[in-house]
Chains A and B, each alone.
Chain A
Amino acid sequence: MSSAPIAIPEEAAVRRRRAKGLLSQPLAVVGLVIAVGWLLVASFAPLIAPYDPLAQDFALTQAPSSEHLFGTDELGRDVLSRVIYGSRLSLPLAILLVALATALGSLLGAMAGYFRSWVDPVVMRTTDLVFAFPAIILAMVVTASLGPNIRNAVLAIVIVAWPSYARVVRGLVLSIGDTEFVHASRLLGSSSRRTLLHDVLPNLAGPVVVLATLDLANAILLLAGLSFLGLGAQPPDPEWGSMVAVGTQYFQYWWMGTFPGLAIFSAVLAFNFLGDSLRDRLDPRGVSRSKHQGVA
């Protein structure tokens, strides 16, 4: 009561910010522009790339010049073209694996929160186990066991990534399941499937979207990290992480590692900018801030 008038500025600011929408946040705009830019680059790579990313018919390890803006690598391939083609691996795979992790995690989390009984402890203890491992160590062991290639790397990251969705969704389902309107719709005779689909799920969308956006950033990092270690994409595929790895062996030729690294950095930054701005809007309670684990 006594502090009510003092709280007004903050509330008003929040209301105003929401009303202005996402596009009025500079960070969100920058993130969106970079992300869309990369998606366009990935879609039109053959049109944009000046050379064939696998062609080795240039002088080796040339410094950046007007002919090769990013220089050439140890086999005489054009680094710019390889960076451009690299987006065709990293971005779609990151989107795919986040989609898989979201689907798997949300499903398990919703089941745990909704049915409780034995499902809940089993799912939750499993997430505990996965969380106990540093992401990359678990992903590394999984990839190594299944065989080092990009498909297994994606699979490994899905295994590492699903638990955060499961936890967030479970928590939300538990809290929403207890609210009046869900009780009301149950009393009115809705089936449990109907309740889940119509009343509970729509309320999950915000935090899950925020989490997925931030996770796209993590996925790109982790995928690049595994490839860097030689556990993801295999040569001669142009992949950003493995290009940086080659760069570390030739680091007097700085352009070989710097530019692909910059590509990873900009793509990850774009999704982090977007996710962080989205959180202000879609998840003011900060539910999605479950465990922001470092990845690479």
Chain B
Amino acid sequence: MTLLAVDELRVRVATEVQPLQIVDGVSYAVGEGRIFGIAGESGSGKTVSVLALMGLLPHGATVTGSARFEGNDLVSMPPARLREVCGREIGLVFQDPLTSFHPMLSVGRQLTEHVRHHYGTSRADARGRAVALLEEVRIPDPETALERYPHEFSGGMRQRIAIAGALMCEPRLLIADEPTTALDVTVQAGILRLIDRLRRDRSLSVILITHDLGVMSALADDLAIFYGGRIVEDGPAEELLASPRHPYTRALLEALPHPETARGAPLHGIPGAPAQPGSLPSGCVFHPRCAYAIEACSTEVPELRRIGERGLACPVDPFAP
């Protein structure tokens, strides 16, 4: 069952200089109880594309296309209703747990204010629920944790609390935007295991945004690779990572250090700088950095072709099996 179906989503931000097309027609579907991974470099539009779904972009951004969540289109929904729906049905976890908590409000208040608003839950019930969730995300001594302030917790603890907060309203979908990037490596694994466990226990759907393909291979069921505001390749995560077909995906994977690579073998970087909104090349946005580009690549925008369960936006397809 599909929980969220995004179709031809575009985000354009009006600036005084020129309008920037930050997300340029992306389509994907998130299945119930599945983890959908979105991978790509900074500036590829992956964060903006999910913030757009929730109506969290700053003034001046125009969103077109559609995103049907349980049958309702989030894009065309009136803002007030969108906020109600998202607050209840979609939980959001930010990249940096240091900045995503209000520094001056207690943890208890920040964990309970939205349940109390959406469901009119009593203070005592909301706190009871918060204590249960804090236990579930393994925060020691949850009762007193509610009385404390964010700065009294470590980064990893705060990210666990943030996840608990996102789950307070029993959402159907959890969006985690680079949830482990700001954390120590040892803490990262714990957070990722937590997300995986919650998904299984609660049949939660998850959109996991990360630039770390290692994380994706461990966790994601489905995967979309973003570049320059477009999806260049998508499909089941395991298969896609085992046999990447887009030159960009392949380059990303080659840039990863791998235990099987011989010691001393060079790591491969991707030549050139990532495409940035405002200075996007014509045609396939990756062509200036692509070793396999043909002439058509610089003029024609490649379609995302369906090949079985997979999608590929590369007419050259140099790694076809």
Contact = CB atoms under 8 A, between A and B. Distances in A.
Whether the complex brings A and B within 8 Å at their CB atoms is answered yes
Interface of A: 1-6, 8-9, 12-13, 15-17
B277 A8 contact: yes
A9 B20 CA distance: 9
B57 interface: yes
Interface stretch (B8-16, B69-77, B102-110): B8-16
Nearest to B17: A12
Contacts of A12: 15-17
Contact of A5 (B16, B17, B45, B181): B45
Nearest to A3: B47
Overall SS of chain B's interface: loop
B27 interface: no
A2 B14 contact: no
Nearest to A1: B42
A81 B14 CA distance: 52
Interface of B: 13-17, 20, 22, 42-43, 45, 47-48, 51, 57-58, 60, 94-95, 177-178, 181, 209, 277-278
B11 to A, nearest CB: 9
Contact of A2 (B16, B17, B178): B178
A16 B58 contact: no
A7 to B, nearest CB: 9
Overall SS of chain A's interface: helix
Contact of A9 (B14, B95, B177, B178): B14
21 contacts: A1-B95, A1-B178, A2-B42, A2-B47, A2-B94, A3-B47, A4-B43, A5-B20, A5-B22, A5-B43, A5-B48, A6-B13, A6-B48, A6-B58, A8-B13, A8-B20, A9-B60, A12-B15, A12-B16, A15-B17, A16-B16
B175 to A, nearest CB: 12
Nearest to A9: B15
Contacts of B13: 5-6, 8-9
Which of B15, B45, B57, B209 has the most C-beta atoms of chain A within 10 angstroms of its own C-beta? B15
Which of B14, B16, B51 has the most C-beta atoms of chain A within 10 angstroms of its own C-beta? B16
A98 to B, nearest CB: 34
Contacts of B15: 8-9, 12-13
A3 B178 CA distance: 11
Contacts of A17: 16
A116 to B, nearest CB: 33
A2 B177 contact: yes
A5 B47 CA distance: 9
A1 B94 CA distance: 12
A280 to B, nearest CB: 14
Contacts of B181: 1
Nearest to B44: A5
Nearest to A14: B16
